[in-house]
Amino acid sequence: MRYTEEERLKFALEHKAKRPKDIVAKDLITGENVVIGMDGFGYVREPGGSLVKMPHAGNVIIESKVEIGSNVCIDRAVVGSTVIGEGTKIDNLVHIAHGAKIGKNCLIVAGAVIGGSAEIGDNCFIGINASIKNKVKIGNNVTVGMGAVVTKDVPDGVTVVGNPARVFTKP
Ligand SMILES: CC(C)(COP(=O)(O)OP(=O)(O)OC[C@H]1O[C@@H](n2cnc3c(N)ncnc32)[C@H](O)[C@@H]1OP(=O)(O)O)[C@@H](O)C(=O)NCCC(=O)NCCS
C-alpha cells in the first residue's frame, strides 16, 4: 500500500493504533495488523501468588522514516517511552516490549523479540528470530545473527550469534 505523508499519519493514528493517544508518530508506514501502544506484559506477583497488572503510563515514540511490516506489536512504556529511532525498518512478526529503545537506521528481521527496556544502538541488524533479553544494551553497528539469544550487553561494531550469544569472528 502506498499513501501520501498525510494519509500515512492519519492511517497509522486512526486505524492501526488501538490507542492513538499513546503514540507519537510522524511519517510512519505500516503493513497490516500492526498494534502500537498497548500495555506491556508487566505483572507483579503478590505474596499469595496472584498477579497484579502494572499500570502503563508511558507511550510509544516513532521517529520519522520508520517502516513497520505486518503483525508487529510495539507496547507502550510503564513510564517514559518505547522509542523507534529515525529510519529504522521492522519486518513482519516482530515484538518490541515496553520501554525498549531502538536506535536509528536499524533493520529488525522477522520473528525478533526485543525485551522490555532493552536498548539497541544505531545502524544495527537484528536477524531472523533473535531474542534480546530485557534491559540488555546493544551498541551501535552491531549484527545479531539469526536465532541469537542475547543475554548480556554487546559492545559497538561486533557480530554475535548463538544461545547464549557470543561474539562471532569468522575463522
Ligand atoms: C551471523 C551471520 C551474519 C554470519 O554470516 P557469515 O559471516 O556470512 O557467516 P557464514 O554463513 O559464512 O557462516 C560461518 C559459520 O558460522 C555459522 N553461523 C552462521 N550464522 C549463524 C548463526 N546465526 N548462528 C549460529 N551459527 C551461525 C555457520 O554455520 C558457519 O559455521 P561453520 O564454520 O561451522 O560452517 C549470518 O549467518 C546471519 O545470521 N545473518 C542473518 C540472517 C538473517 O536474519 N537474514 C534476514 C534475511 S530476510
Q: State pLDDT tens for residues 43-68.
A: 999 999 999 999 998 889 998 899 99
Nearest protein CA to atom 28 of ligand 1, as residue:
170
- State yes or no: is 15 an active-site residue: no
pLDDT value at 5 more than 80: no
pLDDT value at 76 more than 70: yes
Indicate which residue of 15, 56, 95, 98 is catalytic: 98
Q: In angstroms, rounded to a whole number, what is the distance separating the alpha carbons of residues 114 and 89?
A: 14
Q: What are the chain's domains? A: 24-40+57-167 (2.160.10.10)
Compute, in angstroms, the gap from residue 163 CA to the centroid of ligand 1.
13
Please give the helix or strand (H or E) that residue 8 lies within, else none: helix 5-11
pTM: 0.91
Nearest to 95 by CA among 47, 49, 124, 130: 130
| pLDDT value for 1 | 44
| pLDDT value for 27 | 76
The sheet with strand 149-150 has its strands ordered as: 35-38, 73-75, 95-96, 113-114, 131-132, 149-150
CB 73 within 8 A of CB 95: yes
Percent of the chain with pLDDT over 70: 87
Reported as a single tens digit per residue, the pLDDT across 137-147 is 999 999 999 99
β-pairing, 59-62 vs 67-68, is unpaired
State the average pLDDT over residues 97-118. 98
Nearest to 16 by CA among 70, 53, 93: 70
